Amino acid sequence: MYLVMDMGGTFIKYALLNSAGTIINKNKKPTVKTNLPDFKEALFSIIEEHDLTSIKGIAISCPGTVDVNSGVIYYGGSFPFLHEVNLADMIQSKYNIETTVENDGKCAALAELWLGSIKGKKDAVVLVLGSGVGGGVILDGKLHRGVNLSAGEISYVMSNLDPITKETSFMGALGSGALMVRSIAEGKQLEDLTDGEAVFNYINNGDKEAMKIFDDFCIHVAGQILNLQYILDPEIFAIGGGVSAQKILLERIKWAVEEIKQANPMHMANPNIVACLFRNDANLYGALYHFFVSKEGAFVG
């Protein structure tokens, strides 16, 4: 068995999986984000819930830039106290169990490569439309990291750069599913500004105000898909994140691609766009696949 943990901003999700990617059991606990000692205590308590003699490895998904060769995390997102912390070594030295750490967006991409919608593809892009835009780039069947480990960090891609003020918009905001939901919820004066179900009820019913915000969101995503098609020319794009559960999202992104192409006849790209297979459990599967590749040399399932 393998113990896999996904460190999210609200919960730490954890599960036991076998080498075939079957979840044996899973659970979650509220995330501790106060300081490193409290975080370590919470993490260790999760590990010690399990029979460690049966654990062949520990795989972790977390925010931040991760040097997968060393296990060191940089700029830990929701966990700023993890900056320059070697989380893998911290756990491995305490429990003598091989441990790996991988960025959460890249875990989502690896999950799709292993068992999901891009399985068997050599070149692909996974875009996770969450609080920002995460994901990963797959080249020649492998996750591409780049010299500074920043390949696939679509949130930092710029748009509408003003040459005078140098001000710009970033894809992390323009392509944020969470911000799109909040914007519509505010316009509709919803009590819960994170109520995606209520927001998509407005969208699916064709509410004009909601559709304007939603279509603008889809246009921004479609524009970056076209850019990435020209730069990388992948076989396929897979769209993930909580909003990807909505059928209309993929429909309107494909619509947006055609709208951009019609308005700009020079476009020749025809991106192949699908939905991710995994959603809430994607980071668990991807973290485990990363463990297999990095510690055991190849896929073992």
Instruction: Indicate which CATH number applies to the domain containing 212.
Output: 3.30.420.40
Q: By residue range, what is the domain housing residue 231?
A: 117-275
Kindly state whether residues 49 and 127 are assigned to the same domain.
Answer: no
Question: Do 195 and 270 reside in the same domain of the chain?
Answer: yes
Q: How far is CA 168 from CA 69, 297, 298, in A?
A: 34, 42, 41
In a 3-state reduction of DSSP, which class is residue 7? strand
As a whole-number percent, the residues of the chain with pLDDT over 70 amount to 98
Question: Which tens digit of pLDDT belongs to each residue from 154-197?
Answer: 999 998 899 999 999 999 999 999 999 999 999 999 999 999 99
Q: Is the pLDDT of residue 139 over 80?
A: yes
Within this chain, do residues 220 and 155 fall inside the same structural domain, yes or no?
yes
What integer is the mean pLDDT of 244-251? 96
* Residue 171: predicted pLDDT: 95
258 and 291 belong to one structural domain: no
pLDDT of residue 296: 60
In this structure, the answer to whether residues 49 and 135 fall within a common structural domain is no
Q: Per the domain annotation, does 112 fall within a domain? A: no
Tens digit of each residue's pLDDT (9 = 90 or more) over 26-82? 999 999 888 999 999 999 999 999 999 999 999 999 998 999 888 899 988 889 999
Whether residue 251 is contained in a domain is answered as yes
Token digits of residue 8: 């999210």
Do 240 and 135 lie in one domain? The reply is yes
Mean pLDDT of the chain: 94
| Residue 158 and residue 70 share a domain | no
Residue 300, pLDDT above cutoff 50: no
What is the token pair recorded at 136? 């990963």
Same-domain check for residues 59 and 121: no
Please give the Cα distance from 65 to 84 (Å, whole number).
10
Tokens in use for 97?
A: 């169990």
In total, how many domains does the chain have? 2
Mean pLDDT of 264-271: 95
Q: Domain check: are 71 and 133 in the same one?
A: no
DSSP-derived secondary structure letter, 76: -
Query: Quick one: 137 and 263 in the same domain?
Result: yes
- 13 and 154 part of one domain: no
The answer to whether residue 111 sits within a structural domain is: no
Q: Is residue 59 one of the residues assigned to a domain?
A: yes
pTM of the full structure: 0.91
CA distances for 55 relative to 17, 44, 97, 99, 301, angstroms: 10, 14, 8, 11, 16
pLDDT at 5 over 60: yes
Does residue 174 lie in a domain region?
yes
